[in-house]
């Protein structure tokens, strides 16, 4: 049975996240349905590099697909796309060795968050509109707090569920230690872009980092609170969780992949 590496883009607005759920529409569920329709097979495996939550988007999610088919990879991709809704698109499909694993072989992940500095009629599903002016210098002063190997226990939910971990819910919670390699903040038109790259990310971790940075940027908190809230739990962190609409899984890295990809918006806003 051949194994295919799929690279997938999707708008997560209408879905309850990546992972298949009972009585909920999900990205994985839609792709699973399309594979069944195209290949007439039920005995296949579709495994993602990580889970994204409801309303979160992806520019380049990665999954591996084990399915018995004689279709060439690009033909398989096109036929699956023909059966998918318009807001899910398989960008590429390549046959890979069976030792390749979408999640276990991932060397890093990169997320993009988009904050709009103006009200928008068209991009609401892809941004978080923050009405107050944002001081990027203050945000950058706090951003360094999160770079390096840090314990993000106070920036995730109590069970520390890892969206990049597909283990059973009965398994022990994962470690809350995360290596963040880079956190970049830039302005592009009416967008403030927050780009974060690391080994993996805990449930709601990126959205809570963004929420704290926005609070600092609007002047409602000092840059020093980032270190304080990282070291000790505060209800403010939960309250400041940014909405899922502005979050994109931008890239999943594997050994040998180039990481010097420039920061740019997913949906430009002039």
Give per-residue pLDDT as tens, 93-109.
999 999 999 999 999 99
CATH number, domain 107-254, options 3.40.47.10, 3.40.50.970, 3.40.50.720, 3.30.70.660: 3.30.70.660
| Average pLDDT over every residue of 240-262 | 95
Q: Where in the chain is the domain with CATH 3.30.70.660?
A: 107-254
pLDDT of residue 159: 53
Per residue in 173-228, pLDDT (tens digit) is 678 999 999 999 999 999 999 999 999 999 999 999 999 999 999 999 999 999 99
pLDDT of residue 167: 35
Q: Rounded mean pLDDT of the chain? A: 93
For residues 209 and 180, what is the distance between their CA atoms, to the nearest angstrom?
12
Q: Quick check: 260 pLDDT over 80? A: yes
- Catalytic residue numbers, as ranges: 53
Q: Where in the chain is the domain with CATH 3.30.70.580?
A: 3-96
Per residue in 56-87, pLDDT (tens digit) is 999 999 999 999 999 999 999 999 999 999 99
Determine the topology of domain 3-96 in CATH. Alpha-Beta Plaits (3.30.70)
pLDDT of residue 128: 98
């Amino acid at each position: 049975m051949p194994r295919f590496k799929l690279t997938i883009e999707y708008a997560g607005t209408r879905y309850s996240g990546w992972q298949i759920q009972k009585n909920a529409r999900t990205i994985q569920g839609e792709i699973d349905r399309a594979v069944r329709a195209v290949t007439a097979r039920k005995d296949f495996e579709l495994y993602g590099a990580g889970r994204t939550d409801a309303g979160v988007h992806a520019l380049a999610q990665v999954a591996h697909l084990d399915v018995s088919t004689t279709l060439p990879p690009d033909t398989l991709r096109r036929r699956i796309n023909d059966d998918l809704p318009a807001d899910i698109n398989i960008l590429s499909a390549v046959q890979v060795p069976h030792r390749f694993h979408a999640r276990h072989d991932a060397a890093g992940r990169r997320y993009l968050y988009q904050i709009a500095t103006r009200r928008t009629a068209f991009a609401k599903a892809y941004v978080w509109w923050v009405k107050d002016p944002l001081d990027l210098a203050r945000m950058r002063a706090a951003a360094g707090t999160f770079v390096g190997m840090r314990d993000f226990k106070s920036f995730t939910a109590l069970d520390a569920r890892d969206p990049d971990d597909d283990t059973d819910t009965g398994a022990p919670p994962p470690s809350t230690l995360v290596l963040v390699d880079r956190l970049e903040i830039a302005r592009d038109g009416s967008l403030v872009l927050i780009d974060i790259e690391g080994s993996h990310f805990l449930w709601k971790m990126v959205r809570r980092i963004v929420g704290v940075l926005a609070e600092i940027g609007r002047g409602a908190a000092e840059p020093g609170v980032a270190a304080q809230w990282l070291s000790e739990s505060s209800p403010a962190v939960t309250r400041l969780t940014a909405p899922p609409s502005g979050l994109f899984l931008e890239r999943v890295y594997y050994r040998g992949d180039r990481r010097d990809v420039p920061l740019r918006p997913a949906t430009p806003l002039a």
